[in-house]
Structure formats: C-alpha cells, structure tokens
Amino acid sequence: MYVDGRWVEAQSGKTYALPNPATEAIVAEAPDASREDMRAAIAAARKAFDEGPWRKSTPGDRRQVLLKIADELERRKEEVRSLLVAAAGAEYVTHLIQIDRPIELLRLYADLALRFEFETMLPVVPVPTAMGIVAGNSMAVHQPVGVCGLIPTWNFPLFVSVQKLGPAIATGNTMVFKPSPYMPLIDLLLAEILEGCDLPRGVYNVVTGQSAELGAELVESPMVDKISFTGSVATGKRIMEAASRTLKRIHLELGGKSATLILDDANLDEAVGASSSPAFFHAGQGCAICTRILVPENKHDDLLERMAAFIQMAVKIGDPADPSVMLGPVIREERRLKIEEYVESGRREGAQLIIGGGRPKDLGKGYFLEPTVFGQVRNDMTIAREEIFGPVASVLPYRSEDEAIRIANESSYGLGGAILTKDTLRAIEIAKQIRTGTVGINGAFNLFGPFGGFKQSGIGREGGMWGMHEYTEVQTVAWTS
C-alpha cells in the first residue's frame, strides 16, 4: 500500500488473493489492511493538508501533476489493459471507457485546474459606517475541502478513480483512496505513477483490504473532511448515516435501474443492439446501463425475436483476454449467485424468459452467466425494480408515450436513461420529463458532462466543472476601502 509517501505492508502482515474472474487463477495478492493502517493513512493526509507544502501549490503545479499522470498512463497503457482484463474481467469492447476516456479526463481536469475560478470578485455593496457610507468589497474564495476519503468501485475502476483523483488534485486536496476489495490494483498502479510526480508525502495514500471496516474508519474519522463513494445504495445509506456524526461532506454515486424508451417511430433493426446491451456490455455491470427496455406493445414480440437472434449471432462469451469476446464473467462467485436469484425471481413472478437464464455449458471455470432477456415484464416485478448488476435485460410493453414516461420514472433510482427515435426534438422534450441524471438520445452520451443521480441514485455530480465544485468549500472574504 502507499502511505505517507512510502510503500508499506498491512501492519498485520496479512494479504488476500485476487482471482481472475474468467479463469479463477490468482492474479495477485494485496495487503489486507485493518483500521490501524487506515488511521495511519488518514493522519498522513491530514498532516500533508494542514502543514505540508501542498497547501501552497499553484493551479499550474497541479496541472503539471495531472498531465504527468495522463502521460504515464498513456505510456503504460498495455500494462493497464492487462490488469483490467485479468483482474476486472474488462472486455475489449469496454476499453474506450475503461482506459482511453480516463486519460482524456485527466487532461480535462489539468485544463480545469487553470480555468477554474478559485477567486471571484463580488459586486461592490454600500456599507454604512460611523464615517458614512463606504464601498464594501468582497470575493468568493474556493478553498480545497481538505482530507478526502475516496471509495471507488471495481466495474470501471480507472474511470471511477480518475473522476475522484482528477478534481481532488486540481483543487489542492489531500486524499486516502480505499479501493474495492475486488480491484485494488488500479489504485496501486496510480500510486506508482504519483510517486514519480514529486508530490509532497501524504497527499495521495492508498489502503487496500477486504474489510468493510476500512471504509467505515474513513467515514467515521473526525480527521476526514469529505467522502466520495461509488457503490450500492445500501452502502451509500450507511455512509450517509455515519457521516452525519461529523457532518462530513458526502458525495454519493450509487446504483441505477435505467430505462430505454423505444418510441413508436424507432427503427427496430437499429434499436436491437442498444436494447440487448444490458445482456452483454461488461456483463451488465454498469451503473447507468439501461436494463429496462420500454417498447410499444405492438412491437414487443418483434423486438424480443430480434434481440434473441442478435444475442445468438453476435455475442461471443468467454475470457476477455480474447479481444473478440463481448461477454466476460461477472466479478465474483457471490455476485453470480445473487444474479441467479434475480433470474429465478423473474421466472417465479411470471416474466417470459426469452433467452439465457443459466450458465454457459462449455465454460467450466470462471463466473460466467448466459446473456439473459425477459419479456412481458411488469414494472412491479423484482427484476424491474432492483438493480441486478448482471447480464440480464427486461423488456416492458407500454401503450402510450405518457405511460412510457410514467414507467421510466416509477423507480426509486434516477441515474440514466435512453430514448430511441427518428425525432430528436420530440426526444429532447421527453428527456426533460425523465427524472434521471443523464438521458442519451440514440446512443449519445457525454462522458465529460455532469454525471450523477436523482433520487436514490446519489447525491452530487462528478465530471468537469461540476466535479471541481464538489472538492471545494466556498468562503466569502470581505473588506472595505
């Protein structure tokens, strides 16, 4: 682990094994830390923030750090790719988001370090004094929040970590990363890169381990000013509750149950790939993947037929080390078992299983599942309400546009959404009625825009300027002249 500018083992000396989800072979061992290790990292980050030279760093210094990380990632791209394939089961079709976009994002944050208005002059106001009316000057100052506890997740590990690292560095914070127990290797690789960036010690720390206590220590510690967490709603709620005791700033990027609205004028041939994507894109392990597909009632059977044919023809299942594989394994056996429970609930509650539903017969090792599609799904079924995080798509028939919008919004989640149609202007009007953080029309998606959730999908926004604001506290400094 990387703590206070040094590489350390867990104080207990313990490690744990990280399996390749496709082969079950051990990829690496990582230190299995405890609360003591976490406390040491928090203390280092606190000291670096309160007393170290980092506080005096300029936006230009921080820009250089971010550009250097981006350049190093670019140089070590094949190493990053191997790690993601072997330890996160990242299929090649996901690599644009897994690898290329995070590098671009780092360069964007480097640019924002210079463009962000750290000081904004406010309008002059009249201030009555004993000497008469004088000019009241003031400015809004954006200070760094302080020590940030950053808890990313494993599905797009570099992307998720960069969305925290980029703005945290650009705005001058110090940080402790607590990676997912499933995928700590990317944050350790980032530590190697940051070690070469001449950062003052304690600015960037990584503590790895299996126990939920590590994250809990970060959330409970009075020395931590902010938590940014990406993960499930259940853990997000626990974090919000625990953070209230110290009134920590919290940023939560949580799950989703997003809907694709196929409008009546959409071309079904074009819609079929996007509709089937939850059943294969990174094995459905994406927070904003549209897992509820809403289709006009009279096109329901036709769409299902096409989806089954598409999956049989185009979706190759196997080890993501093979670039032609579209559907790799899910991350762990425990997650596979949970997904299978959802598939069972779909069957039990009367959804129509169109394809899949089991494990591929020819793959003895690895946590694989067949791409699975349910038809005739009602929005009150468990598979339509809960996030499955596996290769399972649910198709729901609707009778009118209003009903489609109502079904899309009838969810405790509010993360993503999609509209497929020939009429973009109509889609924009519909998008404005959807209560989710993003809506993509005909596959469009801006990874540099604000990203986050309405309702129980989270609090706060990552991405671009919005991400920068999450890592600052605003202060008003006033004076008279």
Q: Which residues bind ligand NAD (CB under 6 A)?
A: 151, 153-155, 160, 180-181, 212, 215-216, 219, 230-232, 235, 238-239, 253-256, 287, 387, 389, 415, 453, 458
Shorter beta-carbon distance to ligand NAD: residue 219 or 290 = 219
Using CA atoms, how far apart are residues 300 and 284, in angstroms rounded to an integer?
Answer: 21
Using CA atoms, how far apart are residues 32 and 208, in angstroms rounded to an integer?
Answer: 6
Strand pairing of 258-262 and 290-296? parallel
**Is residue 162 within 8 Å of 105, Cβ to Cβ?**
yes
Q: How far is the CB of 133 from ligand NAD (least distance, A)?
A: 50
148 is catalytic: no
Using CA atoms, how far apart are residues 438 and 448, in angstroms rounded to an integer?
Answer: 12
Residue 90 has phi, psi (to 5 degrees) of -85, 110
Shorter beta-carbon distance to ligand NAD: residue 389 or 471 = 389
Task: Please identify which of the residues 253, 370, 387, 462 carries the catalytic annotation.
Answer: 253
Using CA atoms, how far apart are residues 197 and 320, in angstroms rounded to an integer?
Answer: 32
**Burial degree of 208 (CB within 10 A; 0-12, 13-18, 19+):** buried
Using CA atoms, how far apart are residues 249 and 452, in angstroms rounded to an integer?
Answer: 16
287 is catalytic: yes
Residue 241 has phi, psi (to 5 degrees) of -65, -50
Q: How far is the CB of 154 from ligand NAD (least distance, A)?
A: 6
Shorter beta-carbon distance to ligand NAD: residue 5 or 450 = 450
> How far apart, in Å, do the first and last CA atoms of the chain sit?
52
Q: How far is the CB of 153 from ligand NAD (least distance, A)?
A: 4
Using CA atoms, how far apart are residues 447 and 129, in angstroms rounded to an integer?
Answer: 51
Shorter beta-carbon distance to ligand NAD: residue 252 or 354 = 252
Using CA atoms, how far apart are residues 58 and 113, in angstroms rounded to an integer?
Answer: 9
Over the range 411-445, which residues count as b (16 or more CB within 10 Å of their CB) and which as e?
bebbbbbbbbbeeeeebeebbeebbbbbbbbeeee
Residue 125 has phi, psi (to 5 degrees) of -120, 150
Shorter beta-carbon distance to ligand NAD: residue 339 or 354 = 339
Length in residues, the chain? 481
Task: Please identify which of the residues 72, 287, 370, 387 carries the catalytic annotation.
Answer: 287
Q: How far is the CB of 374 from ligand NAD (least distance, A)?
A: 20
**Which residues are marked as active site?**
253, 287
